[in-house]
Structure formats: structure tokens, C-alpha cells
């Protein structure tokens, strides 16, 4: 994907920050457009990072292990790619042929060594540098402060979330692709939502259909729950659908090394449920539809919340809910700021992708989540998860 470092650099300048060290696998991908393999697998900041200044004219530096650098250099033409030493032991062909080891340099440079040198090389050794304190382990942060005592480190984790809340055209197309795969798999799986079918059976059909796409993978946290399971957070089990059950799906798909993820929900009533269950679902669904119809650029997010919440609570005075949706971009977390709650005054912006949800859970009985992903457009919004029905 394309680098979005220009968005981060702009926010650095606006906040008076001279540079940044980008350490998390997701934001490494965000600023470079590429993933670092072991960095992603192990989620350790020492494996890879990007060091940038706030200046658009200054190339950003990528630091990665010697084993990976050749592959990254083939892709990252707009970055300075640097290696640190590992014990992987890649040898020269001439050494294998001659059985004689080539002369090696006597120093072993760790990723921290190269990082410190790069910070100083870019003139940031006594400047204000943004770091991801929401990601960095305490020991790593302590070492940074010890090695770079004159640097003023500030937390910019929230700046990345702010950046990621408004999508580029390329990101929007990524979400179109992911939601199509998710919807087609869920539309397939919902055919198995019948009396006698198990939660695991429906989950199996969804997951297999997603994997067959060859595009993405099912989110490991996706839930398929029936009856009392739909009123609580739990993974699919052998519980079978009974007459009158609510069957709830809440989950999505992941773009693997591209990190983007989806989140949507459907709850279906199976068989002959109590009339109050049907009435509750209709009210929740209508509340969510009212929110979607109202969503447009400039609408304060707390007003969007009240459109749904007030409609449901007008009939059900017991209704309680902290938020009715959230932004979404790259994992591992699914829900990101801004949240659709009573305190968020930020206005909706064109290019935002939000998960609009109106849930209600009834202890020991069952539960609902009515959730769709929407794209805020210039005129209103577009529902991205439109292919799977809310009613069977």
C-alpha cells in the first residue's frame, strides 16, 4: 500500500514535534506501506522501526534485521533502509564454494545501536520526538531515555489513531474488498442458522468461506452464539440452536499483514420466540437505521449517538449503553476513537469509516447486536456491509 507518512508528518508539525520513532507493526505499515515480517509476528519494537523528522523533504529511515533488509530494499525505494546485526548467519556464496570465511567487521550493532545513531544523524538528538507509549514496553522506553538523555520524548499514540480515523481512497477500497468477503461468507453461513445446528457449525461455514476467498482471514475473535450464549461474551461451542433462540454473529475478517480489519453484527431470531423479543429487535434495528440515515459530514458524533439511544430508550427506559459504535482501521484492536458516545463532540468527516451498532443483552435469556460498517461520504453515508440480511 502507499505510505501515509505525510499525514503523520503534518500532525507532528502542527503539534510542535520535531520527529518520531514508529515502533508498532501497524503504524510501521501505515507510514511505510509495507510490513516487516518478524516485527509483525513477534510484536517487539526491537525488530523494526521507522525514524522520521517532521520535514516532508527529509527521507525517513527504516531499521530492520540484516536477514530482512534485502527484501525491504527492493520495496522501500523512498526510504533509507538500514540493517542491524543478528545471529541468523547469512553467508556469501564465495564462502560456501571456497570453504573459507570472508573477513568480518569486528563490531556487532544491535537495533538500539542503529536507532540511536540514526536519531543523532537526523539531528534529533536533542529535539522533541514522538513515540508510541501505548505500545512500547517499559524496559524499552527506559533504554531509549538512557541512550538519548537529551531527547524530549512525547506520546503520539493518539495522533496515529486520529490519522487513521479518516481514510485515504486506497484504504476505502481495501475496506470495500474486506467487507465484500465478510458479507459473502456471512450470507453463506446464515443458511445454516437453523434449529439443531451448533454454534461451531455456523462458525465453520463462515471461516471456511472466508479462507476460500484467498484475500483475507476470519478474525479469530469472531463470535457465533445462540440462546443464553448470545447474551454474553464467549467463543463458539457445541451449543445448538433451539426454537425461539436469538443467534448472534459479531466479528469480521483481517487483511493479515496489511492489518486492516472489519467489524459487523447480525442477530437472527430462530423459530417461535416470545413476541417481546421480536419487538425489541425491531426497535434496535429501527434505531440503527435512523442513525445511518442521519450520518453525514458535519454532524457532531454525540448527536448521532442520541439519535439511536434516545429512540431505543424512549420505549425501553431500562436501556443502557456506553457507546453505539466506533471508528475502525488496523488491528489488533477493533474499536478505535472516535467512539459514538454522548461525550464525543467531534463532527463526522468525509472518509471516516464507522461501525454503527445498537446492542441490547438480556441476562440468561439472549442478546442482540445490530451493527454495520458505514463510509461517510460528501452527501451522507454508504453502508459497506449491505449484503447480509438483518432478517432471515
Instruction: Check whether residue 80 and residue 176 sit in a common domain.
Output: no
Task: Give the residue from 113, 134, 164 where a domain finishes.
Answer: 164
Percent of the chain at pLDDT above 90? 95
Together in a domain, 90 and 19: yes
Domain boundary at 108, 133, 164, which?
164
User: 385, 361, 381: which is closest to 371 by C-alpha?
Assistant: 385
Residue 372: what pLDDT? 98
Q: What is the pLDDT of residue 72?
A: 97
| Domain assignment of residue 229, given as a range | 169-383
Say yes or no: 146 and 271 in one domain: no
| Mean local confidence (pLDDT), 141-162 | 98
| Predicted local distance difference test score (pLDDT) of residue 222 | 95
Q: Decide if 390 is inside a domain.
A: no
Residue 252: the pLDDT is 97
392 within domain boundaries: no
Here the CATH number for the domain that contains residue 57 is 3.40.350.10
Burial 227-264 (b: 16+ CB within 10 A, else e): bbbbbeeeebeebbbeeebbbbbbbbbbbeebbbbbbb
Report pLDDT for 390: 97
> Do the domain assignments include residue 94?
yes
What are residue 382's phi and psi, to 5 degrees?
Answer: -125, 130
pLDDT of residue 331: 82
Verify that 46 and 113 share a domain, yes or no.
yes
Residues 144 and 288 in one domain: no
Q: Is 383 exposed, middle or buried (0-12, 13-18, 19+ CB in 10 A)?
A: middle
pLDDT above 70 covers what percent of the chain? Answer: 99
Do residues 154 and 175 both lie within one domain?
no
Instruction: Give the pLDDT score at 104.
Output: 75
Domain membership of residue 88 (yes or no) is yes
N residues, the chain? 392
Q: What is the mean pLDDT of residues 366-389?
A: 97
pLDDT attached to residue 90: 86
Domain match, 329 and 199 both: yes
pLDDT the model gives residue 187: 97
Please write the tens of the pLDDT for every residue from 25-42: 999 999 999 999 999 999
Rounded Cα–Cα distance for residues 202 and 235 (Å): 12
In a domain, 90, yes or no: yes
Peptide bond before residue 156 is cis, with ω within 30 degrees of 0: no
**Which domain-ending residue is among 123, 146, 164?**
164
Q: In the 8-state DSSP scheme, what is residue 190?
A: G
pLDDT in tens, 241-291: 999 999 999 999 999 999 999 999 999 999 999 999 999 999 999 999 999
pLDDT greater than 80 at residue 151:
yes
Residue 133 has pLDDT above 90, yes or no: yes
Looking at residues 9-14, what average pLDDT do you find?
A: 98
Asked whether residue 128 falls in the same domain as residue 243, the answer is no
Query: What total of structural domains would you count in the chain?
Result: 2
What's the CATH number where 262 sits? 3.90.230.10
Task: Provide the whole-model pTM.
Answer: 0.94
Q: Based on the domain organization, do 203 and 105 belong to the same domain? A: no
The whole-number pLDDT of residue 378 equals 97
Does residue 391 lie in a domain region? no
Tell me: pLDDT of 175 over 80: yes
What is the model's pLDDT at position 54? 98
Q: Is residue 331 part of a domain?
A: yes
Query: Residues 102, 200: one domain?
Result: no
Note whether residue 389 is domain-resident. Answer: no
Q: Are residues 147 and 184 in the same domain?
A: no
Both 262 and 339 in one domain: the answer is yes
Rounded to an integer, the average pLDDT of 149-169 is 98
Distance, CA of 8 to CA of 21 (rounded, Å)? 11
pLDDT score, position 282: 98
Query: Can you give the pLDDT at residue 101?
Result: 86
Q: How far apart are CA 172 and CA 374, in angstroms?
A: 11
Amino acid at each position: 500500500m502507499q505510505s501515509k507518512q505525510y499525514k503523520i508528518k503534518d500532525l507532528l508539525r502542527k503539534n510542535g514535534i520535531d520527529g518520531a520513532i514508529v515502533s508498532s507493526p501497524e503504524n510501521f505499515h501505515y507510514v511505510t506501506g509495507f510490513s516487516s515480517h518478524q516485527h509483525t509476528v513477534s510484536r517487539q519494537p526491537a525488530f523494526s522501526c521507522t525514524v522520521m523528522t517532521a520535514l516532508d523533504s527529509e527521507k525517513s529511515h527504516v531499521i530492520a534485521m540484516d536477514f530482512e533488509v534485502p527484501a525491504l530494499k527492493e520495496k522501500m525505494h523512498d526510504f533509507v533502509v538500514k540493517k542491524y546485526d543478528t545471529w541468523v548467519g547469512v553467508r556469501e556464496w564465495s564462502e560456501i564454494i571456497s570453504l573459507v570465511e570472508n573477513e568480518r567487521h569486528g563490531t556487532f550493532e544491535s537495533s538500539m545501536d542503529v536507532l540511536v545513531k540514526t536519531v543523532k544523524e537526523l539531528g534529533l538528538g536533542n529535539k522533541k520526538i514522538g513515540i508510541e507509549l501505548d505500545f512500547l514496553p517499559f524496559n524499552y522506553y527506559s533504554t531509549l531515555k538512557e541512550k538519548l538523555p537529551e531527547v524530549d520524548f512525547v506520546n503520539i499514540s493518539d495522533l496515529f489513531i486520529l490519522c487513521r480515523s479518516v481514510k485515504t481512497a486506497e484504504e476505502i477500497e481495501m475496506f470495500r474488498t474486506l467487507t465484500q468477503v465478510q458479507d459473502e461468507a456471512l450470507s453463506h453461513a446464515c443458511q445454516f442458522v437453523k434449529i439443531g445446528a451448533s454454534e461451531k457449525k455456523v462458525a465453520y461455514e463462515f471461516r471456511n468461506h472466508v479462507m476460500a476467498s484467498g484475500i483475507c482471514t476470519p478474525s479469530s475473535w469472531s463470535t457465533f452464539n445462540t440462546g443464553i450464549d448470545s447474551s454474553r461474551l464467549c467463543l463458539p461451542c457445541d451449543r445448538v440452536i433451539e426454537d425461539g433462540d436469538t443467534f448472534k454473529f459479531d466479528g469480521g475478517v483481517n487483511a493479515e499483514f496489511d492489518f486492516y480489519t472489519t467489524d459487523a453484527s447480525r442477530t437472527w431470531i430462530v423459530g417461535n420466540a416470545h413476541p417481546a423479543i421480536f419487538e425489541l429487535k425491531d426497535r434496535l434495528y429501527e434505531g440503527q437505521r435512523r442513525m445511518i440515515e442521519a450520518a453525514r459530514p458535519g454532524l457532531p458524533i454525540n448527536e448521532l449517538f442520541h439519535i439511536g439511544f434516545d429512540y431505543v430508550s424512549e420505549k425501553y427506559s431500562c436501556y443502557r449503553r456506553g457507546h453505539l459504535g466506533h471508528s475502525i482501521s488496523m488491528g489488533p484492536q477493533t474499536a478505535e476513537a472516535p467512539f459514538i458516545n454522548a461525550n464525543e463532540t467531534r463532527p463526522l468527516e468525509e472518509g471516516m469509516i464507522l461501525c454503527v451498532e445498537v446492542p441490547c443483552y438480556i441476562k440468561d435469556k439472549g442478546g442482540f447486536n445490530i451493527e454495520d460498517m458505514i463510509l461517510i461520504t460528501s452527501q451522507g453515508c454508504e453502508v459497506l456491509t449491505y449484503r447480509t440480511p438483518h432478517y432471515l
